[in-house]
Amino acid sequence: MKFAIQVNEGPYQHQASDSAYQFTKAALDKGHEVYRVFFYHDGVHNGTRLTTPPQDDRHITNRWIDLAEKYDLDLVVCVAAAQRRGIVDDGEAKRQGKDATNIAPRFRISGLGQLVEAGIQAERLVVFGD
């Protein structure tokens, strides 16, 4: 099965990004394909490399990064949602005149078209959030 995953909630605040991760990992471990994980709304906060949880807690951002490394997973943060919430990569920093970036490795910032395209390409779009 070819899945696309949408994550609509921020990490730690809401279980959605945990559930999305567990689902994505389980699907990949079972040999399914995950075409893309798309982070929208507060879900874009999954993709900041500045995330620093207590040491005895799960590291949600690093978990995504490790999964992406293992399976060459496409992790896409919505540009419009990211701009509102201060998630910045090199390109955005240049365009918007910002003095820093915080996008995590293996994540990329792109447009909402990537979400719609994922819906078209995948056999199932699975949405995590309220």
Partner 1 sequence: MSEEDTMEEGGTVKKFLYVNRRAPYGSIYALESLEVVLIGAAFEQDVSVLFMEDGVYQIKKGQDTKGVDMKNFSPTYRALEMYDVEKLYVEKESLDERGLTEDDLLVPVEVMTRAQVSDLMEEQEVIFNF
Give catalytic residue positions. 78
State yes or no: residue 39 binds partner 1 (CB under 8 A): no
Q: Cα–chain-centroid distance for residue 18?
A: 11
State yes or no: residue 33 binds partner 1 (CB under 8 A): no
Report how far residue 116's alpha carbon sits from residue 105's, in angstroms, rounded to the nearest whole number. Answer: 24
Nearest distance, CB of residue 22 and partner 1, angstroms: 20
Report how far residue 25's alpha carbon sits from residue 120's, in angstroms, rounded to the nearest whole number. Answer: 22
State yes or no: residue 46 binds partner 1 (CB under 8 A): no
* Nearer to partner 1 (CB atom), residue 59 or residue 126: 126
* Nearer to partner 1 (CB atom), residue 1 or residue 53: 1
State yes or no: residue 40 binds partner 1 (CB under 8 A): yes
Size of the site for partner 1 (CB under 8 A): 20
Interacting residues of 15 by C-beta distance below 8 A, sequence separation 6+: none
Report how far residue 118's alpha carbon sits from residue 123's, in angstroms, rounded to the nearest whole number. Answer: 9
